[in-house]
């Protein structure tokens, strides 16, 4: 478990350091160059979107808290955009319960491992209990059938987050169809366990 924790910490640090390093290098070479200034702004925007997303993902919310559909859509879309991944949230609910919001954010984090070359993520909220279906589509999708795989720097986020979701009382079903990976998550009724 310690190895997995260390790999997870390394991965998170990498994701934060990359845009911040670009900002640092850009500031060192700061000049009147418009292109350079644009690169610095993009690096700042990427770092800001990533940090806001992680802060929201790991923040504690009461069970009665709801995200507005539009704010959740914007938060996840901004996070995935830098990875060339388009995000669409389909829901009949304008207010998304905090449990469903967290599931959607966890699924967004693993999107860049499932579709590393970009693509589309579509999440459908089935009911207000947090039941969701998320479809990842893109070229060269990475299968994610098992949480028993050996963790490495390429799959650590996916494996840890899927395990965390499963341990939090969700029944997770994963299957692959052609160039799509589909993850269905449903809260397990406490009486069934």
pLDDT tens digits for range 90-147: 998 899 888 888 888 888 988 888 888 899 999 998 876 768 888 999 887 776 655 5
The answer to whether 108 touches 87, Cβ cutoff 8 Å, is yes
The answer to whether 150 touches 133, Cβ cutoff 8 Å, is no
With H, G, I as helix, E, B as strand and everything else as coil, classify residue 30.
coil
Model pLDDT, residue 121:
93
Please give the residue that has the higher pLDDT: either 53 or 58.
53
The kind and range of the H/E element at 125 are strand 119-125
Residue 1, exposed/middle/buried by CB under 10 A (0-12, 13-18, 19+)? exposed
CATH 3.30.565.10 fits 2-187, yes or no: yes
Q: How far is CA 6 from CA 133, 155, 156, 164, in A?
A: 30, 13, 10, 16
The domains of the chain are located at: 2-187
Mean pLDDT across the stretch 2-11? 64
With H, G, I as helix, E, B as strand and everything else as coil, classify residue 113.
helix
Please give the residue that has the higher pLDDT: either 63 or 122.
122
């Amino acid at each position: 478990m310690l190895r997995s924790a260390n790999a997870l910490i390394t991965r998170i640090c990498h994701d934060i350091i990359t845009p911040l390093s670009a900002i640092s290098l850009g500031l060192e070479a700061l000049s009147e160059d418009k292109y350079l200034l644009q690169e610095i702004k993009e690096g700042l925007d990427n770092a800001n979107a990533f940090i806001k997303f992680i802060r929201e993902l790991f923040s504690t919310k009461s069970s009665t808290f709801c995200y507005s559909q539009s704010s959740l859509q914007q938060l996840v879309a901004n996070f995935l955009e830098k990875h060339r991944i388009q995000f669409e949230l389909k829901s009949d609910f304008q207010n998304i319960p905090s449990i469903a919001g967290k599931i959607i954010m966890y699924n967004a984090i693993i999107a860049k491992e499932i579709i590393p070359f970009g693509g589309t993520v579509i999440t459908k909220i089935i009911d207000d209990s947090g039941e969701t279906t998320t479809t990842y589509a893109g070229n060269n999708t990475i299968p994610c059938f098992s949480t028993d795989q050996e963790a490495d720097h390429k799959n650590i986020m996916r494996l840890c987050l899927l395990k965390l979701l499963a341990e939090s009382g969700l029944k997770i079903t994963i299957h692959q169809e052609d160039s799509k990976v589909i993850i269905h998550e449903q809260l397990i009724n406490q009486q069934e366990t």
